[in-house]
Structure 1
Amino acid sequence: MSGFLTMLMVMMVVGAIVSMTSRRSAPPPRQLHGWGDPYGPPQQIHPAVGYPQPYGQPVHPITPGTRAALDTDITTFGGELRDLDLDVVGRELDAAAHADYTRALDAYDGAKNQLQRAQTDADVRRIAEILEDGRYAVACVKARVTGQPLPEKRPPCFFDPAHGPSTQNVRWAPPGGAVRDVPACAADAQRVMTGHDPSIRLVPMGARQVPYWENQQYAPWAQGYYGRYGTDPALRQITHGALMIGGFSLLLGLFDD
């Protein structure tokens, strides 16, 4: 009997040691920055594919197309920052303008660094959010140094979010679609109102180049740019009801009702 008890105790000790060892060797959950704040504290997100994420969608690996789109956006934003340097050279920036300038530079560095580590469509959304915030900061710097009112916090230009913040809504219809209000940058608003075609962001789909909203692969990229503007009437008009056509469905799930 005593031999049986001794063997039982040995088995329990060995089991406890194995359990502790396996817990120590388990990889920690991956860390991503908190949603809605490009510079907020990290939150822990399990890396497994299929784990629910903001916008009610599962995680999928980043695609070459969305990685290339973000890389292009970051390069374009870097050019905008160089242009901003020329706009403010010789001007003394007050504290508010300096803070906006710093925020724009931080957004560029943050987006570039996060793209190097990006693995999932959740990362794609995150980087697009950072770029959207950085472009608004650039617009604020320009307004401050020229003595203009600060720009309204509006969605990015619908035709290409890399155009920066929209300045107004314009009435526009895609080929074969219904007329609707869409947020547009100043240049595209002028084009549409004078009867010309807007400068639409084209992306590859097979052997063709199509507007980004026609390729579902770019949904996380679009959602990152527009996801903060769930109450904007123009965007809701695009993504809901009878006005939604064809590829605009990639923005469905963007907003919580």
Structure 2
Amino acid sequence: MTTETSVDVTRIPRITHDEATAITAVENRKFGEQLRSLGPDDWIASTDCERWDVRAMAAHVVGGAAGQISPREFVRQVRTGRPIVREIGAKHWWDGMNEVQVRERSDVSTDELIAEWDTNSEKARIARNKLPKPIGRLPLLNLPEPVGRQPLTYLFDMGFTRDVWAHRMDIAAATGHPMDLDATHDGRIIADIVAEWAGYFDEPFTLELTGPAGGTFTSGSGGETVRIDALEFMMILAERTEGTGLLQHTLPL
């Protein structure tokens, strides 16, 4: 969301279910294009996510799509991953599930990973749309602070898509290749995240995010003014690196 004027964070419309469906289709395409652009050295590059190189990160995203297609597969990944949580010194059940996704694809080629993504990403998007609304409204998610208790739609609408976007950002940073960014798609995702992020703390600010997916956002009057590249801001929010002042407030993606 690139704009010459500032936007009050309380006036940013949050992403709806239908909009999330369209955004997911674009993000899936961009992630697939990124994978196809990688060279042999890119796949083995270390990322800011501990334990994962680019290949492992891609395996996690691809495995996540497989779990979204089938509730049975999702439950299997969760159950298989439970003992792995302690093994790898992690905190959350999904850390074990993510490790299962990576380990079970450790012997497939990168071409096979890409093919699995091309096949399953759209199936996953369609499957997520089939979540019954009464079930989607159930507050079954207990996420790290400051997010806390959330309905399933938090994950099914944009949570999974934010994960893909964040890892596309991670892969770009690891490989040194520019991330495909535009104001309509990436700017909308970032603006929605800024709106949610600002709602978790009572602090006035002016936040100027530079770059093609940036914009200027305000909350209240006065307060700290921060000017920072949009991707650098998102890296701090996602706890890939540390921030100070206003940027000490993070948001798990």
TM range (shorter): 0.3 to 0.5
From the CA coordinates, give the structure whose radius of gyration is larger: 1
- What's the TM-score once normalised by structure 1's chain length? 0.35
- What's the TM-score once normalised by structure 2's chain length? 0.35
